[in-house]
Structure 1
Amino acid sequence: MKKIFVLLSFLVFVNLAFSQSNVILEIDDEKITTDEFLHIYKKNNTNTNAMTYQAMEEYLDLFVNFKLKVHEAKLLGLDTLKSFKNELSGYRSQLAQPYLTDKKVEEDILAESYERMRWDVEVSHILIKCDQSASIADTVKAWNKINDIYKKLKKGESFEELVKKYSEDEGTVPTNGSLGYKTVFNLVYEFESAMYETKVGDFSQPFRSRFGYHILKVTDKRPAKGKYQIAHVMTIVPEGSSRHLWKKAEDKINEVYQKAIAGEDFAQLADEYSEDRRTATNGGMIGWVSVGGRMIKEFEEAVFKLENIGDISPVLKTNYGYHVIKLVDKEEIKPFDEAKNDLKRLISNTARTSKSRDAIVNTLKNEYNAKTIDENLKLFYTLVTDSIFNGTWAVDENLKLDKPILTFANQTKTQKDFVDYLMKYNRKQSPQDVKMFVDNAYNNFVSKMILMYEEDILENKYPDFRYLIKEYHDGILLFELTDRFVWSKAIQDTVGLEKFYQENKNSYMWDYRYDVRVYECKDAKVLNSAMKLFNKKKSEEFILAKINKKDSTAIVLSESAFAEKGVKPLVDSKIKQFNISETDGFRLVSQGENNTITLIEVHGPEVKTLNEAKGIITADYQNYLEKEWIKTLRSKYNIKVHKDVLKTLAN
């Protein structure tokens, strides 16, 4: 994708198919229409005064250059390469997705998810297990059971007692079906929806999830807690420990608690006392905790009772031992605009995305008058057998399967098409009712066929999509060709680069540069000795060697810089401090108050070497290569610009 963005940053063009509109440009036998030119021009020129003849004429020159490059790329066959086709196909798949979803439904899901994010709900449930692939008989049995429970609830029987009698969720039966507080994305979508749609104190109607049938009860609803960052100190009590060990662990944690509320450093307490060694060495930090997350229920409840940053919890007992918890930081629910992107990412990983897909499929079914030929579909209720669930299902090759089962738009899908689709399900899986399996598979088949058809015709159906794909098509070609003739060539053609530099080197000049060196002397005596030698024009190497013969720290180079004005702070400060001008040549300054010697040499303008200016020289060489390349293309192809047509487009 980076390649495309590089292209679009300097020039964005699209090419539309030839229509009956007026032709504004011809390159050999290729005709480019005013429709194409105007689309590109308006996209790149949003100024209201841009529709003048002069402005469009100037832009037309860039347009011709671009179309020449794309024309050349196609004649070189770059658009036939497998790598090109694969890259474009990948981009097309991504770009097609917004056209294959219902935007209104997506917006509704986003708004719904954010509203739910603002609330935590305390919920309990009764579960009657029923696998998604259960037979019709088993499904009816489970439904009847949950419906009987629902009738008992409506008559006033206790929810908690019915949990104990009937619920098949072994993990929550001991807590009267309680799941604690939950929020959006904690649970499967069906459960989440029922939870948020049920009022506090009420129970829901029976509903189904992939786990089976549920009835839930909402016992509380509170503004969302958001996220808490916490640390803890823990004393561990292994499973099956004696009362003596529990008492010992309790005494230890009580000591920690007293120290913590007295203001002792919590991180040090964790390091010294905590038996959770994974967190102890990091100040007891557990990290961020959210409602309905990975923490056990009682631990989570204790965390969210903390209100202010720095609060310390009372001692908490769990099945694992004792804890003292500190609230380190908290993050409230973000405003919608800030939370939107994270919500989109979370939504994309949940079943609720199917709502948008189902909505667009239903719209397309109506638009394309989709019809199922039921009498031809019935064959599959006997043709498909239980063998498909162990991967051994096979169809007699002599069986004629050419009857239509689905028609839409100008498409007809036959029984053979559905057989081919079913073969992907021909693998080991949980057995289920065959008729239910066929019906579900057929519904998925219909959705897939319609969406595939829709994706195939997007260019014809949506001009904006057609423009966008052409933009990527031409962009990839332009990138590959420009890289070949300009960018990579400028880097790899060292001989050409050197020649270009030699012909233009006077364009790459240094301004006045200042070589600043600051020496620190041990004392005034060393300073005076050094200054005498400097004044005798002795070299710096000689001076350092002589003075540092007995003491290597007698005089040392403390700072140095060599640069133009405005590049290095040391240079700028010394120019200002000593009022250095471009005509000074060489200055030697001693400062007795801090025993320093400053040398400043002024270097006049001079030509930069190729290595010193390689970046800008390479960029200029690339520009030169591109101009020469365009000259070649303009002489290579027959170009005809219809400026009379251009005049008709201007205001």
Structure 2
Amino acid sequence: MKMKQLLFGLFLSIGATTFAQNVQKEVLFTVNDKPYYTDEFARVYNKNLDLVKDESQKDLDQYLELFIGYKLKINKANKLGLQNGANYQSELKTYRAQLSKNYVTDSKVTKELVEEGYQRSQKEVKASHILITVDENAAPEDTLKAYNRISDLRKRALAGEDFGKLAQENSQDPSAKDNKGNLGYFSAFRMVYPFETAAFKTPKGQISNPVRTRFGYHIIKVDDVRDNRGEVQVAHIMILNPKPEEADQDKAKNTINDIYKKLQQGEKFEDLAKQFSEDKSSSSKGGQLSRFGSGQLSSEEFENTAFSLTKENPVSQPFQSKFGWHIVKLIERFPMKTFDEAKADLETKISKDERSRLIANSLNDKLRKKYNVKRDNKVYGKVVKAVTPDFYENKWSLPTDTKPTDAKLFAIQEKEFTGTDFLKYIQTRQKAGSGIRPASKMVDAFYESYLDEQLNAYYNDHLETEFPEFAAVMEEYRDGLLLFDLMEKEIWEKSKTDTLGLKNFYDTRKMNYQWKNRVDVVIASSTNEKAVKEAQKMLKKGSTPEQIKEKLNTKDKVDIMTNVGTFEEGNDALPKGLKFEAGVSDITKDGQYYFVTKVNKVLPAGVKTLEECKGKCINDYQQYLEQGWVDKLKGEFTVRVKQDAFERVKTALKK
């Protein structure tokens, strides 16, 4: 088993390791005085029990030998320094980063957000909004000014003023001048999260309280709520709307109507789209568009028409959108997915959405409580003084003398962070800039980010201490990587390149590599008995398989199939009951198929040449080398088994 993914199959299937609850942890054996414990042996044995097909490997005495051999190989790999290899270190780091994702997020919050996202995705909200922009880091007075303005607009809307007109005249969303704030229908994950939440929590016909997003303050009027229509895929033919200066304003309409008549006359939609559609991004594909849901296109007319199509009425009449005249053809409808089907996609969306901040913030809160960091405010005050307004001009640099800030600012358990460490962090943020003023408040914001980053890093670095199952998986993967590199070096490469050793191994065991009786044949088969009879005649005349297929098959229909080769007795490719004698057989039937076979040559049973059995022979040679190698390792390292501890493990595992 040479492929890395197969070698590690046992390790990666753990997920959450189950420990043998009734096995007391004690030293089971030592390799050069390095202890290996009963709990690890029991855990690995139980985990692999159902995966092992060889019954002898389920025997605990035999399994102990395998386990000791495994640990001897790991010790040899470490002795050779394979753990220091760059590729090994890189792959181990990559795997740890992947595995740690399950531990460095708040699974409870993630679960709640996935469930919320799925429930919201079942509905579509039609809403309008008014936006008053304000920067996320705006000064309090500017924030208050924006809030007061949006609150005043809400009061006017509640008092009966037309919401669309208020949006057109006051909203700082540029599109409001044309759409009067109307956003059409949308579902979950189509708007920024705070906006989405306000829209889904506001009853139909009502106006939300002011809601803050990264764009500013909004008020939202919910016009309608309906069930999600799912997604649809369509093709379309489009003729662009005429420009105002064009003389013939009806040309586009007349053209689309002519195309529609051609469709009614039986011409292919795809061909007409390629010839006439002025949507160049889709015309070459027969007008086909990517699948979409409500709110994903910028034309509500187009969406509504697309969703109105059915299998019985798959092609729309010509209609006009703000872009042009269209005819739309239904390709496929995609209904809403079940929760289980949608879960993985929802988790991905959440990781890229503002919701991810909620997950991160939840973990940050837990880590702050867990490690209870105490800040030295005297040192912090010196840090604040060291950061000048030059920061906003990208001209600030660390003080020449950092002694005042070299003292401990805070500590996470045993790890200390100085004021100067924090100043260096601030310096790395200078190019990105910050809109928070004055500088002291900016430093406060940076401190919160810095503390959270260090708490997360410390927590990540100590996952092995926090979670025994994580440590167990990492230990097994670490050993698995080493074992792969060691086997590559000591066994697999040797078995491939040691041609003399392989030849000697084959010569002493060639009777293990035997052919059964074989036949060199041409087999013709078909569900059409007449075609097989014709093939039988042609085989008797000496026709080749190619000649048979050329005569009996046509461009539109394949009547006969042939199979040529040398097959052993019992091979599924051979028709049942075939006689191992030269010549053309009688026609036989198996199920729906008729067969006729021409036996060119009968090859008697005999020993395979090395070339004929090379793959199997190399595999056996590898096992031979490995067994002898393990015996040598037992001489190289001192192994001492604690027999009394092993007896206790056996008793516990048999319960």
TM-score normalized by structure 2? 0.83
Counting only pairs closer than 5 Å after superposition, residues 99-118 of structure 1 correspond to structure 2 as 99-118=103-122
* C-alpha contact 1:22 1:34 (8 A) present in aligned 2: yes
Q: Aligned equivalents of 2:332 and 2:199: distance in 1?
A: 29
Cα displacement (A) at 1:231: 0.8
User: Does the 8 A contact of 1:271 with 1:284 survive in 2?
Assistant: yes
The residue that corresponds to 1:646 in the other structure is 646
Post-superposition CA distance 1:528-582 (Å, at most 9, x none): 9x98xx9xxxxx99xx9xxxxxxxxxxxxx874322235474xx23x74xx514x
Match for 2:97: what amino acid?
S
Indicate the residue corresponding to 2:515 in structure 1: 510
Residue 514 of structure 1 aligns with an amino acid whose one-letter code is V
What CA distance in whole angstroms lies between the structure 2 residues aligned with 1:55 and 1:96?
Answer: 35
Amino acid at match of 1:632: K
Summarize the Cα distance change of 1:302–1:598 in structure 2 as closer, same or farther, 3 Å threshold. Answer: closer
Query: What is the Cα deviation at residue 337 of structure 1?
Result: 0.6
Q: 1:572-623, CA deviations, whole angstroms, 9 ceiling, x for partnerless residues?
A: 23x74xx514xx4x446799xxxx9945421101222222222212211111
Selected match of 2:333 from 311, 330, 334: 330
Please state whether the residue corresponding to 2:111 is helix, strand or coil: helix
2:348 aligns to what?
A: 345
Matched, 1:192 2:191: no
Tell me which of 63, 74, 91 is aligned to 2:67.
63
When residues 137 and 438 of structure 1 are mapped into structure 2, their CA distance, relative to the original with a 3 A threshold, is farther
Determine if contact 2:410/2:418 at 8 Å carries over to the other structure. yes
State which of 427, 432, 446 in structure 2 corresponds to 1:441: 446
What is the CA-CA distance between 1:479 and the residue it aligns to?
A: 1.0
The one-letter amino acid of 1:439's match is: D
Q: Which residue of 2 aligns with 1:479?
A: 484
Partner of 1:128: 132
Does 1:580 pair with 2:579?
yes
- C-alpha distance in 1, partners of 2:173/2:105? 36
**Residue 86 of structure 1, aligned match among 83, 90, 93:** 90
Aligned match of 2:235: 231
Deviation at 1:144, TM superposition (A): 2.7
Q: 1:366: Cα distance to partner?
A: 1.3
Native 8 Å contact 1:377 1:405 kept in 2? yes
Q: Give the match's secondary structure for 1:286.
A: coil
1:101 Cα shift?
A: 1.1
CA distance in 2, matches of 1:46, 1:603: 42
For 1:168 and 1:54, the matched residues in 2 are separated by 72
Report the equivalent of 2:367: 364
Q: How many Å apart are 1:121 and its aligned residue?
A: 1.2
Separation in 2 of the partners of 1:640 and 1:386?
Answer: 68
For 1:451, give the aligned amino acid: N
* Helix, strand or coil at the partner of 2:184: strand
Change (3 A) 1:471 1:590: closer
Q: Confirm whether residue 457 of structure 1 aligns to residue 462 of structure 2.
A: yes
- TM-score normalised to structure 1 length: 0.84
Q: How far does residue 515 in structure 1 lie from its aligned partner after superposition?
A: 1.7
Q: Kindly indicate whether the alpha-carbon contact (under 8 Å) linking 2:164 and 2:182 is maintained by their aligned counterparts in 1.
A: no
Aligned AA (2:601): E
Cα offsets for 1:68-121 (capped at 9, x unmatched): 111111111222333323322222222222221111001011111111211111
Unaligned 5+ runs, structure 1: 48-52, 535-539, 545-557
Q: Residue deviations 1:115-156, cap 9 Å, x none?
A: 121111112111111233434443333233223223333444
Which residue of 1 is the match for residue 499 of structure 2? 494
Once structures 1 and 2 are overlaid, which stretch shifts more, 21-30 or 356-365?
21-30
> In 1, Cα distance between the equivalents of 2:318 and 2:392?
54
Moved more, 292-301 or 173-182: 292-301
Q: Are the equivalent residues in 2 in contact too, given 1:26–1:639 (CA < 8 A)?
A: yes
Question: In 2, distance between residues paired with 1:96 and 1:518?
Answer: 56
One-letter code aligned to 1:313: S
Cα deviations across residues 463-498 of structure 1 (Å, max 9, x unaligned)?
111111111111111111111112222223233222
Q: Which has the larger radius of gyration?
A: 1
User: 2:319 is matched with which residue?
Assistant: 316
Cα drift, residue 517 of structure 1: 5.0
AA paired with 1:255?
D
Q: Tell me the residue number matched to 1:50.
A: none
Q: Distance in 1 between matches of 2:340 and 2:456?
A: 31
The Cα of 1:305 is off from its aligned counterpart by: 3.5
Distance change (3 Å), C-alpha of 1:388 and 1:253: same
Query: Partner letter of residue 357 of structure 1?
Result: A
Mapped to 2, the partners of 1:275 and 1:392 lie a distance apart of: 53
Cα deviations across residues 620-647 of structure 1 (Å, max 9, x unaligned)?
Answer: 1111111111111122222111222111
User: Where do 5+ consecutive residues of structure 2 fail to align?
Assistant: 52-56, 525-533, 548-561, 588-595
- Structure-to-structure mapping, 1:197-212, within 5 angstroms: 197-212=201-216
**Contact (CA 8 Å) 1:253, 1:324: kept in 2 or not?**
yes
Query: 5 Å matches for 1:276-295?
Result: 276-295=279-298
In structure 1, distance between residues paired with 2:485 and 2:281: 52
CA RMSD of aligned residues (A): 3.4
Letter of the 2:626 partner, please give it.
E
Larger CA deviation: 125-134 vs 396-405:
396-405
Query: Relative to 1, partners in 2 of residues 1:559 and 1:193: Cα closer, same or farther, differing over 3 Å?
Result: closer
- Residues 588, 463 of structure 1: alpha-carbon distance in 2 compared, 3 angstrom cutoff: closer
Given that 1:389 and 1:427 are in contact with CA atoms closer than 8 Å, whether structure 2 keeps it comes out as: no
Q: Displacement, 1:250?
A: 0.2
Residues in 1 aligned to 2:138 and 2:10: alpha-carbon distance in whole angstroms:
59
Q: Are residues 9 and 170 of structure 1, via their aligned partners in 2, closer, same or farther at CA, if it must alter by over 3 Å?
A: closer
Q: Is the 8 A contact 2:242 2:252 kept in 1?
A: no
